[in-house]
């Protein structure tokens, strides 16, 4: 029974990773994504928050809070990979600029694949893994599906529109199966995480990231700030899981904290998106009144 559950978890996790990337790519037109990439202020702040300040915060929290080293590993991996697949949905709820949403997704996906293989061996001590071992699953499960999906969207838009709903449904089912299998396999570790600061650390990480990135994203209008903030404060857990799969002899609690991040980031992002949406609407109303 345990072997069946483990196999189910591995397969569903693979479908979760690849399916989410395909879903993003099938809705992402390359020309539309270029608009935000021409805005150097937006690009600079996205890179600063996504790949310097967020990993820095994750490392700081592992030093300040009495977190088990295995949880610290998982947290740092998440800190290195911004932009969850749920960003387009959250950006829409926040009245964010959807063109800039596409730009952020493309930028974050490409930089994550290039950045993580070099950053992980430096930032996570005691992990014996080569840059190529980390890069391989990221290239295979994230960048390659993204390129294929974007090519289909660009060249065969009608086909992309027809298959995207099916990809979304399959991925949603795989996500539910993955979480259920994960609970059944790791229920003891999930219960122990309650008293080991893992959940508290995740809440603090997401709250600090989403608030500070929004408040201090200088020089950007509200509909771009919300995209940046939601993008850098949500985690590409597929990249984290793919990287964990490349490591040998990693404590399973590193995977546990990544799984716990799924519902926590969804709840915090939903609350933030509603707040950002009201702020953008209010700003638009004031602009019309003036």
pLDDT digits (tens, 9 = 90+) for 36-77: 889 999 999 999 999 999 999 999 999 999 888 889 999 999
Query: 197: alpha, beta or left, given left = phi > 0 and alpha = psi -120 to 50?
Result: left
Classify the C-alpha dihedral 96-100-106-110 as positive or negative.
negative
Query: pLDDT tens-digit profile of 160-216?
Result: 999 999 998 998 898 889 888 888 887 777 777 777 889 999 999 999 999 999 999
Question: The whole model's pTM is what?
Answer: 0.82
129: pLDDT confidence band, cut at 50, 70 and 90?
A: low
Helix (H) or strand (E) holding 39: none
Q: Write down the residue that tokens 């490392």 correspond to.
A: 59
**pLDDT cut 70: percent of the chain above it:** 93
State the DSSP string of 87-102.
HHHHHHHTT--HHHHH
Cα(198)–Cα(219) distance, integer angstroms = 35
**224 pLDDT higher than 80:** yes
Averaged confidence pLDDT in the chain: 85
**Beta-carbon neighbour count of residue 263 at 10 Å?**
11
**What pLDDT is recorded for position 287?**
43
Mean per-residue pLDDT, 103-126: 86
Q: Does pLDDT of 261 surpass 70? A: yes
Residues pairing with 82 in the sheet = 235
Domains of the chain: 2-279 (1.20.1530.20)
- Do the Cβ atoms of 232 and 171 come closer than 8 Å? no
DSSP string, 101-132: HHHHHHHHHHHHHHHHHHHHHHHSTT----HH
Q: How far is residue 170 CA from its own chain's centroid?
A: 19
DSSP per residue over 170-207, as a string?
HHHHHHHHHHHHHHHHHHHHHHHHTTTTHHHHHHHHHH
Dihedral angle sign, alpha carbons of residues 172, 177, 182, 184: positive
């Amino acid at each position: 029974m345990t072997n069946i559950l483990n196999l189910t978890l591995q397969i569903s996790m693979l479908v979760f990773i690849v399916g989410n990337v395909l879903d993003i790519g099938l809705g992402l037109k390359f020309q539309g994504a270029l608009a935000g990439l021409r805005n150097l202020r937006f690009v600079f702040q996205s890179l600063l928050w996504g790949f310097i300040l967020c990993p820095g915060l994750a490392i700081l929290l592992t030093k300040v809070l009495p977190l088990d080293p295995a949880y610290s590993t998982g947290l740092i991996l998440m800190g290195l990979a911004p932009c969850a697949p749920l960003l387009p949905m959250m950006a829409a709820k926040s009245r964010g600029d959807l063109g800039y949403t596409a730009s952020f997704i493309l930028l974050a996906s490409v930089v994550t694949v290039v950045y993580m293989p070099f950053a992980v061996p430096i930032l996570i001590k005691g992990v014996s893994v080569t840059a190529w071992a980390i890069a391989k699953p990221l290239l295979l499960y994230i960048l390659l599906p993204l390129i294929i999906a974007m090519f289909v969207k660009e060249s065969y838009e009608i086909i992309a529109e027809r298959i995207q709903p099916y990809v979304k449904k399959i991925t949603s089912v795989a996500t539910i199966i993955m979480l259920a299998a994960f609970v059944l396999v790791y229920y003891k570790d999930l219960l122990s995480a309650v008293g080991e600061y893992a959940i508290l650390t995740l809440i603090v990480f997401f709250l600090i990231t989403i608030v500070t990135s929004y408040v201090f994203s200088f020089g950007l209008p509200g509909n771009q700030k919300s995209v940046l903030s939601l993008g850098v404060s949500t985690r590409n857990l597929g990249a984290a899981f793919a990287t964990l799969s490349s490591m040998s002899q990693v404590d399973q609690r590193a995977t546990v904290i990544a799984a716990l991040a799924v519902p926590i980031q969804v709840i915090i992002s939903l609350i933030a998106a509603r707040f950002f949406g009201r702020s953008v609407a209010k700003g638009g109303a004031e602009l019309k009144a003036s």
